[in-house]
Structure 1
Amino acid sequence: MSQQVNAKSVTRNVGWSVLSKTSTFGLKFVTVPILARLLSPEEFGAVAVALALVQFLAMIGGAGLASALILEPREDEETIHSVFWANLALSFLMAAGLFFWAEPLAGWLGAADAAPLLRLMSLLVPLQLAGDVAYALVARRMQFSKDALWSMMSESLAAIAAVALAIAGFGVVALVIQLFVAGVVRLAGLFFVSRYLPRLRFRLGEVTRLARFSLGLMGSEIANFVTFQSPMVVISRFLGLAEAGAYSAANRFSSIPNQVVLSAVMGVLFPAFSAMMHDRERRSQALMLSTQVTTLLLAPMMFGLWALAEPAMFLLFGPQWAAAWPVLGLLALSKGILTPCSTFIPYLKGAGHGGALFRWAVGRAVVTTAAVAYGAYEGTLVAAMTALCIVNALVLVGYSRLVFSADGTPFLSGFLRAVRPMLMAALMALAVRYALDHVLAPRLPATLQLAAGIALGGILYGVLVLLTERPLLRKLIELARRPKASPALP
């Protein structure tokens, strides 16, 4: 690792990452409802199904090689260039396969009309993989502050382009152009920040060595991807593109808090935990602190969205989507249940437990896919989302036991400390939902329901946190007050 990892460096990089994600939060908060009003559920569903396949191929193409570069003890130019060309070559092969096999693949996914989109979006595979090596260099150097501006720029320009094209009547093309604009700007930013310039050097032995090392990481990444994307494919096949579009719109909106907090935190924690691989005490303390903090921040957003899903769906997405509010609420609930797990995957990767992570990730992917398929086949989209919530509750317990066992932390005490902020958020959400159903909804329009619910939830959660998390708050205040000491985590 190129720089010393301590509380100050990790906190600073997490701060920059969260800032870059938060800056796009406002745009996505506005643009997703705007696009939902301008486009049909079928158009949302077609792009979502095609994108799921593109992202899956991009993940396979990376083969975990970029993650392996982050764990390398030093930056070797031959190895870095070899990984770049291996990724790029494989990405073009997969893009060609996706282009020529678009029709049968779209039919298998239950979205035959998405074949033209698959052909167009096949170019996203090399576009995404071309930046993997540059991102690995940024991550291992902990240069997230330098990357933040480009991340904000790519998402902002893409969102603006999508809305402008949708208003101009370009329909589903607006969503596709959004992906390409974000990809191109993001790629340019990664190369600029990392100062990486590909050269014609290739050593097969280095690629083979890293590939053997990264098989476990690759397998777990693919399994996690299947977990997150399989509901879209299942819903498309069993319930049709309209229901897939409703799921996609609700999932996009409910995922915004995750994108703001989790994607920023996880990107920093993986190289940080890697640097602490041989220091169990620091690693254990960092695990608990990061888990508590991310749960403290993220859980109230997700459970609060569950409580206010009905007026939020009607107000933000419009009447044509209003009936899908239970889907939005259940998706937010399913994500809220998993908030304590937000640091578990980077911990297992960084601490060298790739084999255990792979086995659990595969099991989770199988159970999640089966549960959603059963709910969709036997009932409706709501039944499928209910099954997802039940599975995620079991996943929370299973992953917690795995991680605390690997860390040497007693399960019960570690689990209770990790989930306590989530339980407070759940109590807050139940109170807000009761107030909404019995007091606010009969008397106020949707706008005031939403505003009153947010205010009430914020006050209740603040009181509950002050009553239950004073030690954690004192620790955070202490860290904030000694910026010059650069103490080791926590």
Structure 2
Amino acid sequence: MADNSKKRLLKNTFFLYLLTFSSQVLGLITIPYQTRVLSPEMYGVVGVATSTMTFLSLILDFGLLLSATPKVASHQGDAAYLSELYGGVLAVKAGIATICGAILGAVCLALPYYRQYLALYALYYFAYVLAAMLPDYLYRGLEQMKIITVRTVAIRLFATAGTFIFLKSDADVLALPICLLCGNFAALIACFKYDRVNFEIQPILPSLEYLKNLARSSLPFFFSRVSSTVYSTANPIVLNAFYAGSPVIGLYTASEKFLSVSKSVVSPIADSLYPYMVRNKDYRLVKRVLIFTAPFILIGATVLFTFADQICVLIFGDGYAGAGSIVRCLLPAIMVIVPSYIICFPVLVPMGLSSQANFSNFIGVCVQLFSLALLILTGKLDVYTICMATSAAEVSVFLYRLITILRHRGKKASADHAPYR
């Protein structure tokens, strides 16, 4: 049974890596095409719209992806429980979508800039609402990542094909959200049918009390994701405020790619470990994963520190040699990303410490914002000190998570008979 669980874990990790890889590849294919057929002004409009929707998608999810996944993992095979959860998640998200839609509509009608692109924002919003309704938490909890991967890749392929077929100029810009909307609608219908036939799960509208409790249990996860977003996006905003139009912003943007790549590399491992650990509490496996990845982190960090200038020139071009020094300032953050992600939700939630996992991101926000405020007040703010502040924030988050585990491992070892040592 344990061997089957680990095989499923490896399979799920593979599919999540395939999902991440497909996203990057299709993005590389479509972005150059869009920049060539759309004017810079219209491409900027699309960029603002998609950035707005990315933020709204965070609100639409409301932390339910993280809070509902362990519920599913703990009740596999209980169709009645999962059907009630299924309906509850849909109802909560529908309520949030209604409120957000009303606010977005009011803003678009009130401001002239947004009013002229009302159709674009409306279509994008409905597309993102449908995406939020997709029951990814169910497939993560059931450890059926193949379903998510196949569905998402199919949607992205459809949207990519639609972009090349229908987008020829600024006049065709609505083709972008329409293709996404159609793909997400088809995926949602397919999910409802698949879940009913294969898992005997169909949405049941629960009581109002149930919905309140579901939303309440998701609120800490929502704040955690918002906190993580704030301290990971604060740097470009601050840099732009002090160095608008300066090449240093481009150098930072290039350097930050190393940090984002580190997150994309470890995210599939953490995401597949999360439901597995909720069910199995196999802390020794986490220890083996950390031991296995440690040499690669150390070797990679050594190479990056030594050859950062040359690597940046190789990847980004001759004008980016100066990014090497910025990368070195981000190196502590890059080094702790892998262990920090792995010991967060996959370990803390099975230990009954989900509140600590969520609070750890708030620690990162506090360290980041305090550091930025101190740098501004002392006149020491530049791209290097900002990156050092980011490293301090990421290291603080990691240390908080690690210390929390070490403090509670004895109590959990006696309760679960599976010590994390």
Q: Which runs of structure 2 are paired with 1:288-367 in the superposition (5 Å)?
A: 288-293=287-292, 304=304, 306=308, 308-314=311-317, 322=320, 325=323, 329=327, 333=331, 334-346=333-345, 347-367=347-367
Q: 1:50 to 1:172 in 2, by over 3 A?
A: farther
Q: 1:64 to 1:260 in 2, by over 3 A?
A: closer
Partner of 1:447: none
- For 1:399, what is the secondary structure of its paired residue? helix
- For 1:265, what is the secondary structure of its paired residue? helix
Matched residue type, 1:101: V
Shift of 1:200: 7.1
CA distance in 1, matches of 2:397, 2:276: 25
Q: 1:243 to 1:153 in 2, by over 3 A?
A: farther
Please point out which of 368, 392, 395 is paired with 1:393: 395
Instruction: Determine if the alignment matches structure 1 residue 99 to structure 2 residue 105.
Output: yes
Partner of 1:286: 285
Partner of 1:149: 150
Q: 1:269 to 1:185 in 2, by over 3 A?
A: farther
Partner of 1:80: 86
Shift of 1:343: 0.8
Report which stretch shifted further, 380-389 or 216-225.
380-389
Q: Which sections of structure 1, spanning at least 5 residues, go unmatched?
A: 107-111, 410-488
Q: 1:234 to 1:92 in 2, by over 3 A?
A: farther
TM-score (norm 2): 0.71
Given that 2:9 and 2:272 are in contact with CA atoms closer than 8 Å, whether structure 1 keeps it comes out as yes
Q: Give the RMSD, CA atoms, in angstroms.
A: 4.8
Partner of 1:18: 17
CA distance in 1, matches of 2:153, 2:361: 31
Matched residue type, 2:91: W
Partner of 2:227: 223
Q: 1:159 to 1:192 in 2, by over 3 A?
A: same
Matched residue type, 1:257: V
Partner of 2:132: 129
Partner of 2:269: 265
CA distance in 1, matches of 2:239, 2:342: 29
Q: Which runs of structure 2 are paired with 1:63-78 in the superposition (5 Å)?
A: 63-72=62-71, 73=75, 74-75=78-79, 76=81, 77-78=83-84
Shift of 1:93: 1.5
Matched residue type, 1:127: L
Q: 1:189 to 1:124 in 2, by over 3 A?
A: closer
Report which stretch shifted further, 345-354 or 393-402.
393-402
Partner of 1:210: 214
Q: 1:103 to 1:232 in 2, by over 3 A?
A: farther
Given that 2:228 and 2:365 are in contact with CA atoms closer than 8 Å, whether structure 1 keeps it comes out as yes
Shift of 1:213: 2.8
CA distance in 2, matches of 1:327, 1:50: 33
Q: Give aligned pairs, total.
A: 390
CA distance in 2, matches of 1:119, 1:214: 27
Q: 1:49 to 1:204 in 2, by over 3 A?
A: same
Partner of 1:466: none
CA distance in 2, matches of 1:232, 1:255: 14
Q: 1:357 to 1:68 in 2, by over 3 A?
A: closer
Given that 2:63 and 2:221 are in contact with CA atoms closer than 8 Å, whether structure 1 keeps it comes out as yes
Q: Deviations over 1:387-430 (max 9, x none)?
A: 32343334333333233434359xxxxxxxxxxxxxxxxxxxxx
Given that 2:9 and 2:276 are in contact with CA atoms closer than 8 Å, whether structure 1 keeps it comes out as yes
Q: 1:68 to 1:396 in 2, by over 3 A?
A: closer
Shift of 1:21: 2.2
Q: 1:119 to 1:215 in 2, by over 3 A?
A: same
Matched residue type, 2:405: V
CA distance in 1, matches of 2:388, 2:26: 29
CA distance in 1, matches of 2:70, 2:326: 38
Partner of 2:409: 407
Shift of 1:165: 8.4
Given that 1:65 and 1:83 are in contact with CA atoms closer than 8 Å, whether structure 2 keeps it comes out as yes
Given that 1:235 and 1:381 are in contact with CA atoms closer than 8 Å, whether structure 2 keeps it comes out as yes
Partner of 2:415: none
Given that 1:36 and 1:249 are in contact with CA atoms closer than 8 Å, whether structure 2 keeps it comes out as no
Partner of 2:183: 185
